[in-house]
Amino acid sequence: MSGADRRILQRVDRVCAEIQTTRAEVLCALVRALVGEPQSNQMPGVPHLSAQDCILRELHRSGSLTVRELKTRTTYRRHGIVAFDRALNELCVAGRLRVAEELTGSGHMRRVVILLREPD
């Protein structure tokens, strides 16, 4: 593999990390775009995570996050904003997490999502 190929793969890996997807998903989407196939949000054989699963996975991984950060890290556009908001509300009602408002240093309010301890 040439040095140029390695640099390209490193760039692809950085993009994958930013959009929280795998290299295989990115390459599959590129091939589909080249051959003109309709793009699917799910690769064959890869289980599809629900919006709730994505939210819980990211909160377990990162701890408390603002709603904005959580949306970015869970790629909420994959599910849609309505599904993301519904999942967030359902998790709050189920007692899995809490959304609190905090005052920032600049005097603005921000909403922070806090993962609650699961019952034993």
Domain boundaries, the chain: 1-47, 49-120
∠ CA 45-49-54, nearest 5°, is 145
Residue 119: which residues within 8 A CB-CB, separation 6 or more? Answer: none
Sign of the Cα torsion 80, 82, 84, 86 reads negative
**In this prediction, what percent of the chain has a pLDDT beyond 90?**
22
pLDDT at 104: 86
Confidence of residue 17 (pLDDT cuts 50, 70, 90): confident
State the pLDDT confidence band at 76, using cuts at 50, 70 and 90.
confident
Give the contacts of 61 (CB within 8 A, at least 6 positions apart): none
In this structure, whether the domain defined by 49-120 belongs to CATH 3.30.70.380 is answered with: no
Backbone φ and ψ for 11, nearest 5 degrees, come out as: -65, -40
Least confident of 45-49, 95-99, 106-110: 45-49
Please report the pLDDT score of residue 45 as a whole number: 45
The pLDDT assigned to 46 comes to: 43
CA distances from 70 to 60, 62, 64, 74, 97 (A): 12, 10, 9, 6, 13
Looking at residue 113, the DSSP 8-state letter turns out to be E
pTM summary value:
0.57
Q: What is the mean pLDDT of residues 87-97?
A: 90
